[in-house]
Structure 1
């Protein structure tokens, strides 16, 4: 085989290795994020903390990798890459013990404020993410190409394969691996991929070493110390590119978070939303990078002009596509089915809805901008890379500053954008960054004056056409009347209250949760009232989820109840309910929101229960759809064990028995389990005293009568029919060991019916 062919196959093999490395990295990101929210609690802020900590480690790895790559001897970058892959794989094998067992279960590190939590997350993730960040600068310097242009293309191909691997890894992890093998086994598979990368890279390293024995012997024992290698050309031009990569990182993460909020709301918050968005984001970026390599081979024009024009178009298309989307769902008859769906209460997986919300809209919004991001990376590398001895440091510094920009963008959107500006104004402000590129084109005299003015006018017009936040979300919420629509937005979520048909409905991130008036919502009446009336003396009640406050209200019907702790992770939800009360003058909703017994705790309910010693007579989670994001955390055997440990003697735990797995898990924990109304499960350590006459007599109490009469609830008829529907599912100590949901394997959350119906039937 000729040296040229050998070099080609060696490079292809290295690209394949980097593909597998990217695949493994996204297995870890998806799963480690799930594990870490047990420690931090579920909220947008906690997830931002996790992502920021992940990116910080990557950024430091990029920076160190660039320095190491440029100072290493020939072939040494491959050897360092081997060590990095081994380190990542070894950490992965013990990651569950560190993140879940030690950090979460044992409460090893108690953290208070956001900075303390961030610091702990950063330190936990630093080792593996730092090693991940080393990889691109090291492999960028692994082999010297004949020309600077080929070197830049080689770097772009590395970026392409790694990003493509990450995109496919995201998709496969959520759609296949978690479904088929659960979290732990998926992480072990990632470790196996890292070890495969390391072993293959060792073979490449020793093959190259034998071929260059004389030269390698001279360089292997020491680092390069010649002036070219030690120095670094940090000129004004490179500073401009540092600013560009920082801005690009800021813009990219801002738009990614904005896209996620829009698409999640239109999908109605299903568990796979994040993975779909991230897979498209990374996949189109990879395709754009590869296209840039192919395109640049024959492009003879000014590359800087091409880069600036593409950057402008990225901003223009992003805001333009959002303007078109919010116009089309309301005013284009072909999308009337979508407008009706956005208005509706439930999630639907009907073919036209699923294809539109999970594929067409995400691709329409994201495909072009992310393609341009990848394309721009290639063009920028062709402009920047001109000296082989500086390849590593240039890649390292640029990627590090890109991470700095991403981190700043993440916090800007989370803490400033959602809390003070709203989605619409945040999109407008980020999009106006596109004017900077028009100014730079003006300085360089790229394009004619008329074209530059037209570009500026087009971008400003698109910004102007995007409606204000309330009208923007009103359209994407399927509503036409402002008086029938309440919106509250912050970093935790979007809360809507929509009024139609004489009733008002509460939505979180587009998905219906509960309704007003309370007497129309039998499900939440049963969930709240029946346990409170069954228990002999429910002094302390804990309820996970506020919604419309219907469950909370109905749980408060006994005078003996002294404390009603209501946990709500969506901080703006109480404000939305208060706004509804003010508009509607609903006395029952006002009563419970101002009841002195009620203690609103605005944080993750499971997180609070795990970290506090308080015990309750009754604990329940408001009905949560099993396929909603993070629903597995409230339907796992471990969660039910937590409830059991937080009950007083004779206390009751309540859950919605939505699936067989939920029922099995509940039965596996509670020795005495009952079903009411065909959907509500009640578990206890002791048999319940279900004397119907005695329970019905509790309705004669003046406090109880007045409480339910205030909301026009015929609790007598409902209690009577619910008690008659009672079924004893388990009475004694028999444990049900069948198929269940686990913290390490939330099967219901990732089981999407017919797609995987024939893959696994009974895993156990």
Structure 2
């Protein structure tokens, strides 16, 4: 006979209602946390630069602040009543909201516009970034230890509830990342995105303060425990902290590798980072939510934890190699420029943006999320230490994350490359499995996993083979690759032509493309005395090389964000097809700088006759920093008397912003696929006869012959060039479309009409 379950008591119903309310609030806290991270990372990136070193410093500082909040929250939460914990959580959100409202002034108006020269020192930059993020990140870090104590006054029930809280918060982060990356930022810009987050944080804070009255105001006394037992449990807890630290190190290292591999595979744009992070966070969230329900069935948490680490390492390495092999067999899947056309969504787009991230990242991140409530089940044994242990476990994980981001991002990838860094993480995974100390004959699953890990360590391909596969290059094809902390650059040859890849994107061909010869030669000869030149972007070397065609030029400073391009080009210079590069690198007038071009320009102590941005397509991630009104203003302030800025015309938004800043603009259509913008404080006269005369100069001819430039094609295109001239006086000053805090062209799916030529 079926019987109905016993009715819930009033106390149980109230507890369920309270936990549900707190879960919704904590979901919104997670949602806003990622809004802030994405927006603040961009604002601080203008101050610190967008190179890998600077981005790593910002992320590490963000994590360090969260860790400090975890530590403080864990230490003090056990001293407060349920009601006090929720009140403090509410106050923290009000504090975060207040900081968010002021953050534009702090990060952009103050740090970037007034104190940007302080970023010259990496150590000083680290200190400034850390302290500028300290207040909001610490307040965020306080939240989980406080709420864990608020909803779990007894250790027995705490693991599942803490897992639930962690899961809903991470789920909020994932959804916040997805919506901010694909819609919010592209629609309203970074500044308004922060204000939107501030409104949500203020709402969460106010509701939390009101809801706090539903919690008891009882302080729980400390338990008395046997001294020997406490010492044993303390040692046991320290072991868990070390395990979680190593797991955090491994998890963030894998995340860095996933992003590097998928950056190559997807040929990323402005939407890619948030899209991929969404998979990681939502998978993590569901893993934690599943773990919160499943932990009651797990009798050996430590063994399960160690097995998870081994499985994650094995799966990550094998899946990356499997996808690389598939890419090599079907190279057409990556035969695009990373541009998503919403009116023509091909199978390749769905495969790259859905199938590949799901296969590579979902399973390992489900497992990584699953272990959080598992750890809580193992360590939560005292009612009066719930918050402290949550905080210490979180800070152990964050310290591992911070160490992993710094060591893997700046050291391992620099000296070992992706393949060997991945191999090192598999070795760490094997160490986790060995730590189980199983009976290898009886523990079949554990033994099988260990064998798979050993085989992966032995047979995982080296860096050259891995990147050849991920670039879709067939075995036996000429292929060279260089990798460092800044990225991956490679050159492949096919049918007697070389092709340069930077982060998986095809940048140029060898011999130099004719359009690059036009971009360099024309401005070099158009300016009457271009003694000092700066160019942002090395690429294949074609534009910087031909930019030195004028015999009057004394120095050409070439700034390249991706340091890996230099060694791969220098190596290719020794080949017959790459021979012009040899002349480039032997020319004493050229100075090559690896770094963020905008920051190098900002910090430059001199002015230039020509500044050129041979930049990336405007829809690429962070491209907006080189197409904004503020960047053009910075360029203008660094032009010498009679100087000019040169940039290829990439679309309506960039051109209109260009014309907003420069009083005089000349637009020259040099070929079917290339129009160039020249801007300055004086009219830039495109004198065809003068250019053609200079092309007869023996020194110019000799120089361009070394670069293997087609002189006849140059003369023909100059003669046929179509010229349009604009000025503020005659045509008015158009409204700027792209700004630092609202790069509309970068988020082209939200503003497609602004990118049409």
Per the shorter chain, which TM-score range?
Answer: over 0.9
Contact 2:678 2:684 survives alignment (8 Å) = no
| Alpha-carbon distance between aligned partners in 2 of 1:228 and 1:448, rounded to the nearest angstrom | 41
Show structure 1 runs of 5+ residues with no match: none
Matched, 1:468 2:462: yes
**1:575: which partner in 2?**
567
Shift of 1:328: 2.5
Task: Calculate the TM-score normalised by the size of structure 2.
Answer: 0.93
Matched, 1:498 2:496: no
**1:325: which partner in 2?**
323
Matched, 1:679 2:671: no
225 and 506 in structure 1: CA distance in 2 versus 1, 3 angstrom threshold: same
**2:246: which partner in 1?**
247
| Alpha-carbon distance between aligned partners in 1 of 2:717 and 2:425, rounded to the nearest angstrom | 56
Deviations 1:727-757 (A, max 9, x none): 324134344434611101111112237xx76
Contact 1:67 1:396 survives alignment (8 Å) = yes
Deviations 1:210-258 (A, max 9, x none): xx5xx65xx5xxxx77465999875221111111110110010000000
Residue number among 735, 738, 747 corresponding to 2:744 in the alignment: 747
Shift of 1:411: 1.7
1:59-78 maps to which residues of 2 (within 5 A)? 59-78=67-86
Contact 2:174 2:282 survives alignment (8 Å) = yes
**2:24: which partner in 1?**
16
Q: Larger deviation: 477-486 or 571-580? A: 477-486
Contact 2:324 2:470 survives alignment (8 Å) = yes
Matched, 1:508 2:502: yes
Matched, 1:694 2:690: yes
**1:707: which partner in 2?**
703
| Alpha-carbon distance between aligned partners in 2 of 1:500 and 1:536, rounded to the nearest angstrom | 40
Deviations 1:600-655 (A, max 9, x none): 12211110111223111111111411111110000111111111111112211111
Contact 2:612 2:646 survives alignment (8 Å) = yes
Shift of 1:300: 6.0
| Alpha-carbon distance between aligned partners in 2 of 1:603 and 1:229, rounded to the nearest angstrom | 57
Question: Which of structure 1's runs of 4+ aligned residues deviate more than 4 A?
Answer: 224-234, 343-350
Shift of 1:284: 0.2
SS at 1:582 equivalent? coil
Matched, 1:489 2:483: yes
Contact 1:563 1:599 survives alignment (8 Å) = yes
**2:285: which partner in 1?**
286
SS at 2:702 equivalent? helix
Residue number among 345, 351, 354 corresponding to 1:356 in the alignment: 351
| Alpha-carbon distance between aligned partners in 2 of 1:466 and 1:365, rounded to the nearest angstrom | 16
Contact 2:184 2:193 survives alignment (8 Å) = yes
Residue number among 185, 205, 208 corresponding to 1:201 in the alignment: 208
Q: Larger deviation: 700-709 or 108-117? A: 108-117
| Alpha-carbon distance between aligned partners in 1 of 2:223 and 2:540, rounded to the nearest angstrom | 69
SS at 2:678 equivalent? strand
1:263-662 maps to which residues of 2 (within 5 A)? 263-297=262-296, 299=297, 301-331=299-329, 336=330, 339-342=331-334, 350-442=345-437, 448-481=442-475, 484-518=478-512, 521-584=513-576, 586-662=578-654
Contact 1:664 1:736 survives alignment (8 Å) = no
Shift of 1:358: 1.5
| Alpha-carbon distance between aligned partners in 1 of 2:420 and 2:152, rounded to the nearest angstrom | 47
Deviations 1:563-608 (A, max 9, x none): 1111111122111111001123744221111111111122111101
Residue number among 135, 160, 163 corresponding to 1:156 in the alignment: 163
SS at 2:437 equivalent? helix
Shift of 1:75: 1.4
729 and 595 in structure 1: CA distance in 2 versus 1, 3 angstrom threshold: same
396 and 550 in structure 1: CA distance in 2 versus 1, 3 angstrom threshold: same
1:104-183 maps to which residues of 2 (within 5 A)? 104-107=112-115, 110-144=118-152, 148-183=155-190
SS at 2:435 equivalent? helix
Deviations 1:476-517 (A, max 9, x none): 111124561110000001001111122112111000112221
SS at 2:612 equivalent? strand
Deviations 1:79-121 (A, max 9, x none): 1112211111111111111111111111266144432221111
Contact 2:62 2:133 survives alignment (8 Å) = yes
Shift of 1:3: 3.3
Shift of 1:7: 2.2
Contact 2:426 2:456 survives alignment (8 Å) = no
**2:726: which partner in 1?**
730
| Alpha-carbon distance between aligned partners in 2 of 1:761 and 1:676, rounded to the nearest angstrom | 20
Deviations 1:628-683 (A, max 9, x none): 11100001111111111111122111112211100110111112111122521111
CA root-mean-square deviation: 2.3
501 and 228 in structure 1: CA distance in 2 versus 1, 3 angstrom threshold: farther
Deviations 1:341-396 (A, max 9, x none): 44666656552221121111111111000000111112221222122210011011
| Alpha-carbon distance between aligned partners in 2 of 1:675 and 1:130, rounded to the nearest angstrom | 50
Deviations 1:239-287 (A, max 9, x none): 1111111011001000000000000000113222211221111100001
Deviations 1:155-182 (A, max 9, x none): 1111011100111111111101111100
Q: Larger deviation: 653-662 or 57-66? A: 653-662
| Alpha-carbon distance between aligned partners in 2 of 1:435 and 1:493, rounded to the nearest angstrom | 28
| Alpha-carbon distance between aligned partners in 2 of 1:587 and 1:264, rounded to the nearest angstrom | 30
Q: Larger deviation: 129-138 or 342-351? A: 342-351
1:69-88 maps to which residues of 2 (within 5 A)? 69-88=77-96
Shift of 1:455: 2.2
Shift of 1:26: 0.3
361 and 74 in structure 1: CA distance in 2 versus 1, 3 angstrom threshold: closer
SS at 2:743 equivalent? coil
SS at 1:625 equivalent? coil
SS at 1:318 equivalent? helix
Deviations 1:120-170 (A, max 9, x none): 11111111111110011011011345x534221111111011100111111
| Alpha-carbon distance between aligned partners in 2 of 1:126 and 1:723, rounded to the nearest angstrom | 59
Q: Larger deviation: 267-276 or 637-646? A: 267-276
Shift of 1:702: 1.6
Task: Calculate the TM-score normalised by the size of structure 1.
Answer: 0.92
Contact 2:97 2:199 survives alignment (8 Å) = yes
Shift of 1:413: 1.0
Deviations 1:47-74 (A, max 9, x none): 1111001101111110110011011234
Contact 2:744 2:754 survives alignment (8 Å) = no
Residue number among 49, 71, 82 corresponding to 1:41 in the alignment: 49
Residue number among 647, 661, 666 corresponding to 2:658 in the alignment: 666
Deviations 1:31-56 (A, max 9, x none): 11111111111211111111001101
229 and 640 in structure 1: CA distance in 2 versus 1, 3 angstrom threshold: farther
Q: Larger deviation: 481-490 or 347-356? A: 347-356
Contact 1:425 1:468 survives alignment (8 Å) = yes
| Alpha-carbon distance between aligned partners in 2 of 1:369 and 1:184, rounded to the nearest angstrom | 34
Shift of 1:398: 0.7
Contact 2:247 2:397 survives alignment (8 Å) = yes
Contact 1:250 1:409 survives alignment (8 Å) = yes
